[in-house]
Structure formats: structure tokens, C-alpha cells
Amino acid sequence: MARYIFITGGVVSSLGKGLASAALGALLQARGYTVRLRKLDPYLNVDPGTMSPFEHGEVFVTDDGAETDLDLGHYERFTGVSARKTDSVSSGRIYSTVLEKERRGDYLGKTIQVIPHVTNEIKEFIDIGSDEVDFMLCEIGGTVGDIEALPFFEAIRQYSQDKRGQCVFMHLTLLPYIAAAGELKTKPTQHSVKELRSIGIAPDILMCRSEHPIPEKERAKLALFCNVRPESVIPALDLKSIYDAPLAYHREGMDRAVLEAFNITDAPEPDLTKWHDVMDRVNHPEGEVKIAIIGKYTQLGDAYKSIAEALTHGGMANKVKVKTQWIDSEIFETGEDVTPQLEGFNAILVPGGFGERGTEGMINAATYARTHNVPYFGICLGMQMAVTEAARNLAGIKDAGSEEFDSKSGEKSITPIVYHLKEWVEGNRTIQRSADDDKGGTMRLGAYNAVLKPGSRIAEIYGTETISERHRHRYEVDMSYRAALEAKGVDFAGISPDGKLPETIEIKDHPWYIGVQFHPELKSKPFEPHPLFASFVEAALKQSRFV
Ligand code: GLN
């Protein structure tokens, strides 16, 4: 029988609910339980696929091709459980399903209402696959009081009746510190809990984010005023590394409080070896590398969340600290020499992105990396720009470019080295697009296999010749330029199983120059760093010994 843990937030947003949920998942796993984590987002977009990275941060892609909230990335990184399409839903998706059903006549002429029709749809969603695991953790996005989130709160309130004894409510809040008074304030938390209780939800556990240790007196006060047990008020202090969360929250009694709320008294003690090892690597680095990430959405840290984490994991694999600098590629478009800006870095990473802005800067950075023997890692757009660079400067195709930046204006004349894929079939999956089809939902999404050439560097890094990685893109490097580029040392080392789509490129005569059409960062974990990131950081480390 599945047990449900509902995680809500109060006081302010951005308190790290996703991380707290992920850490709780990891702790339950460490005690031998199976878990799945789910995110319910109140916004009305059907999914985050069409949202700007500046609005919503990274779009996390699942193996089964869903474009989801970046919190699913945290869930995967902490639990190693691959997220699925059915682990992320928004109000928009729920309403659109209800309206589709209404149009089909599924409700047999009834008046459609938020309660019960919308709430039933939400409950059906929460229940999908819940019998496969010991604990289903559901995080509600936003903060209590948000209008859009009300149907979600009502649905989880109904659980407390429908599945009495099988659900626990955890509420994450903030205790602000008032320096003038030298005090942590509990009132916002009291109000937030009052708000929850007014819609019928009584939290069992309070997680309190705070910059300072919470004195016993405040803990007792919170327990009394919010109607929870004092040992269920869990301090969540700021952490130096997010990967310390499982250990830190365990010390504060988070998992114990949750198990007690379920009346589970015979749970095994957690085996936290793997988290101790991770933290040992974080706390005791034996060196440092400096990596420049040259991308389009560098002002917002969350836009490349998984890349930042995967680089940290690559550092853990090599026991070094990875210092990253996020640089907007547009600054390399002035025509001036890029050397002064880039010579201090041990490696360069160009991540994914959409649209023309900044791409010439990426190409200039790629030229620098290639000609200065600096390790280069191009991911998705970063691979497409690396190939464009090589086509222009090695294969002599001076006007090489991507159709992504050409089709709209039609003014520039380019040789499309990167083209808009119109039709492709793999197994039971088909991509078919019309000429101007570049709206959301038409991308090559999710996990696809690639075959790696024996003896290539990438095959050596993966230690295997067949891989599966996640994709999110519309454009493809054109295979008809393969011979011309390979003649110049740009090896198309990874190809789709049907032989039609390039998946990876590498330059042999270079310390480390690799481009991948997929997103390896999505599968990296602290306790299982992705081989490409581990190898890339290792190359940066070697490079650091020469500068
Ligand atoms: N814009 C490019 C494409 O659609 C790259 C996408 C990406 O980097 N995720 O193919």
C-alpha cells in the first residue's frame, strides 16, 4: 500500500522545496524504501517547454520525452530514480485534460466543476504508479495562498480523508532573522500554517529554513502555535553544498519525524555511506580548475542548472573544485581578440540554446579553444556551433551556418551545415514537421540511442559503443558534410543507429574537443558523475598544469 508525502511551501518562494523533497527521498531510500517524486505546478502553461529559460530556468527532459520542471532534475540527482512524463503536471495540463474530456462527452452531461472534476483529475495523476513504490512524494509548486494552486491543495486535502493514515504533510517555511532584535521570527510561519489549516490541511512536519540555528524556545513555540510535535519542527539551515542536505536533514531528524508521522517504528537505520563519500569529495578537494561556460542565458543561474551540477559532479570524480564563470557569448562578437578574456580558463563549455543571438560569439570561442588546445565541450547548440566553426575555418565553407538562424529573414545566404529535420522515424517514434513548424512540442525529445565508433575518444570515455542519452532539439548537423569535415580531422564518432543523424563529433588532434547533440548533463549524479563530465574536468585539470 503506497504512502504519500505532500510537500508544500509557505512564506516566500525559492526556499528549496525541491531540494528538501529530493533529500527526503534520498533518506528514505537510504533506509531501504523505494520512492518516486512528483511535482505539481500551479501555472497555466501546459508544460514548461514553451517558457523562456529566463522565466522558468532549465527545462528538464525525461527519458520518455517530457519537458518538465527543473526540480525533477534534483529528484533524479538525489535518488537516481529516472523521472517519467507522469512525474510532472501543471494546472494547465490538468484543465486541458478536463476540457478535452468534457468535449468528448465523458462526463455524461454533468456540470463540470473544480470540485470534484478538476480535483479528481489531480488525484488520478497523483495515483499513477503509486502502488509500485513504498513512498510517493508530491511537491506542490508555489506557496500556499496562490490562487492557481487551490485545486491542488484541495486535492491533497481530500487524501487526508481518502487515505487516512497513509499520508503525511510537510510544510517548508522561512524564519526571517531580524538583526536589530537579534531574533528569528516565527510569525510568518504561524500565518502560513494558519492559511493551510483554513483550507483543511494540518501539517505534520515543519521544515524551517533559517540562516541561524533555531533556539529551543522558538522550536517549542512553533510546535505549540502550529500544532505539530516539537521534534517535528526541523531546522533547515543554509548549507555550503546542496549535497549536504541528506546528511544535514538526517541529523535534524527529518526522516525520523516522517516515519513517526506514519507510525512506522521498525524502519532500518539509514545507510548514508554514499552521501558521506560525496561530501568528503566536496569538503576535501585536492585542486581546482576554472571553466568558462559561454552561453545565451548566463544571467540566470537556474537556466543551466543541470550543467552546473554535472560540472560539480565531474569535479567530485577528480577530487577537485570546479570554479565556473558564466559568460554571455555576445561579448565575443565585437571583432576583438577573445584571448585576453579566455586565457585564464582551463576549459570551455558551450551549452544548448535557441535562436541566433550570441551564436557568432560561441563560434569565436570555439575557434579559440580549437586553436589554443583548450578543452572544449559543446552541448547541443554548442556542438552545432563547433561544427559550423570547423566547416568555416577548416573545410573552407566560409558561409557555413544553421538554418535555425536563416529561415526567418531569408536575407543571409548561408550554406546550411545544420538543417531543420523535417522527417525522421525511429522504431515507433516519428518526427514530422512542416516548413515553418518551430513552435513548442515539435522537438526531438527524450532518450535516443547512439552508436559510437570503436577506438574513438568518446567510446573510450563511455567504455561502451552503444549509449542512450536525452535530446531536446530541432536542428541536426548535415551528414552530407561528413566526408569534407572528417578529411580535416573532425570525426563524426557517434551516429544514430539508422546512420542518419550525427550524435557526437570530436577532433582527434586536440587534447579534448567533443561535441554532443544530446544533453548528458541531465543524467549526471553526485554519486555517479557522468563519464563525459568526469573526463572533461580531468582534461581541464591536465590543462591547468600547463598554465
Ligand atoms: N537550437 C538548437 C536546435 O533546436 C539547439 C537546441 C539545444 O541546444 N537544446 O537544434
- 360 plus 450 within the same structural domain: yes
Mean pLDDT of 68-75: 93
| Spatial separation of the C-alpha atoms in residues 62 and 303, rounded to whole Å | 17
| Distance from Cα 58 to the centre of ligand 1, integer Å | 13
CA distance 204 to 193: 11
276 has catalytic annotation: no
pLDDT in tens, 308-366: 999 999 999 999 999 999 999 999 999 999 999 999 999 999 999 998 899 999 999 99
| pLDDT greater than 80 at residue 406 | no
Q: Which three cell numbers stand for residue 178?
A: 531580524
Cβ–ligand 1 contact at 67 (below 6 Å): no
Arithmetic mean of pLDDT, 15-32: 96
Burial 266-287 (b: 16+ CB within 10 A, else e): ebeebebebbeebbebbeeeee
- Whether 283 maps to a domain, the answer reads no
* Rounded Cα distance, 514 and 522, in Å: 17
The 10 Å Cβ neighbour count of residue 131 is: 9
From 473, 501, 521, 522, give the residue whose CB has the most ligand 1 atoms within 8 Å, as the site to mutate. Answer: 473
404 lines ligand 1 (CB under 6 A): yes
Tell whether the model's pLDDT for residue 434 goes beyond 70. no
Given 224, 256, 278, the domain boundary residue is 278
Q: For residue 408, is pLDDT > 60? A: no
Best-predicted range by mean pLDDT (211-225, 377-391, 429-443): 377-391
pLDDT top residue among 51 and 104: 104
Active site residue 389: no
Q: Is 56 a catalytic residue?
A: no
CATH of the domain at 295: 3.40.50.880
Residue 354, ligand 1, Cβ within 6 A: yes
Indicate if ligand 1 lies below 6 Å from the C-beta of 405: no
The owner of cell 577506438 is 455
Together in a domain, 172 and 301: no
| Residue 284 domain-assigned (yes or no) | no
428/465 same-domain check: yes
Please tell me the residue having the least CA distance from ligand 1 atom 8.
352
pLDDT at 422: 82
381 lines ligand 1 (CB under 6 A): yes
Residue 404 pLDDT greater than 70, yes or no: yes
Query: How far apart (Å, rounded) are the C-alpha atoms in residues 134 and 34?
Result: 5
- Specify whether 70 is located in the same domain as 205: yes
Q: How far does residue 498's CA lie from ligand 1's centre (Å)?
A: 21
Average the pLDDT over each of 6-15, 452-461, 518-527 and give the range with the smallest value.
6-15
What is the structure's pLDDT at 503? 97
* Helices 71-79, 305-318: inter-axial angle, 10-degree rounding: 20
Helices assigned H by DSSP within 113-186? 119-127, 150-162
Please tell me the distance between residue 475's alpha carbon and the centre of ligand 1 in angstroms: 6
Contact present, 57 and 63 (Cβ < 8 Å): no
Q: Is 353 in the pocket of ligand 1 (CB under 6 A)?
A: yes
Q: Which domain holds residue 426?
A: 289-406+414-544
Catalytic residue among 76, 469, 476, 521: 521
Same domain, 357 and 475: yes
62 neighbors 161 (Cβ within 8 angstroms):
no
